[in-house]
Chain A
């Protein structure tokens, strides 16, 4: 997993690319800190995310939990292919807006 974050006030634009799998668990808290801390809106572009496994999805639940606790809005952008299929099958569209 590679990621970028760009902050403009309390708005954050982030990207996650590569593969989000069990091997990324040790690094995911850093992403959460950079993308979600004090954010009121966060748009996460998954256009270059090629694959996600069940651990990757469970890590993503922390994005939802943090947003809910902080009253923030999260939008997932450009979700496609296997990642879109996996997230839809896991009912992520009940947690996040997809654009």
Chain B
């Protein structure tokens, strides 16, 4: 553990990899956790199963539970930490943050909590939606599902990925932002922030490619 590291993280070995483990159910500030560790992977101990650890050299990975992803400011923390590891992202920090915010929201709400945003289009629907969201965030079957966020340098730029553990989906064709209480604008915002957006793993993983400002 690095000098001065907070007491609520632990550095452990997963196979040949050193990872920083934290309790996503209690940490107050994810940014402090990501800034304190010196490993490539950060894993929430409250997260169920399938921890995906760095598959490529230089990959930066955060795995956390759905409940933690809904409670903590994940986009802010990861965008800042990714900017430290990939300096060429710093010029794009606001766009990375905005895209990550939408991608994490999709992973949590539509992916792991399996909530359909169109079901909050009216106020009475919103009340039902809100109650069901709250119930699922306290149900371990949903709340412990993993959200995995990673960043990796590619030839074309920096690829930032967000992957959920839900049922997957078929991405809709691109459309312009439209005013709607039922949502559906997250992907439009993501597409406006990135050079390229692709989906894989049945729609569970979104890969957002950001401009590499170092020519």
Contact = CB atoms under 8 A, between A and B. Distances in A.
Interface stretch (B25-33, B42-50, B152-160, B173-181): B173-181
Contact of B177 (A51, A66, A89): A89
A28 B108 contact: no
B123 A32 contact: yes
A65 B123 contact: yes
B130 A58 contact: no
A62 B71 contact: no
A55 B71 CA distance: 15
Contacts of A54: 102, 105, 183, 185-186, 188-189
Given A25-B133, A29-B127, A55-B117, A62 B105 contact: no
B102 A53 contact: yes
B109 A58 contact: no
- Chain A interface extent, by class: 20 to 34
Contacts, number: 77
B1 interface: no
Of B102, B117, B126, most buried by chain A (CB within 10 Å of CB) is B126
- Chain B interface extent, by class: 20 to 34
Interface string A8-29: 0000000000010111011111
Interface in A40-61: 51, 53-55, 57-59, 61
B130 A55 contact: no
Interface of B: 70-71, 73, 94, 98, 101-102, 105, 108-109, 117, 120, 122-123, 126-127, 129-131, 133-134, 137, 177, 179-183, 185-186, 188-189
20 contacts: A21-B101, A21-B105, A22-B70, A25-B120, A25-B129, A25-B133, A26-B133, A28-B126, A29-B123, A53-B98, A58-B117, A58-B185, A59-B181, A61-B179, A61-B180, A65-B123, A89-B177, A90-B177, A90-B179, A92-B179
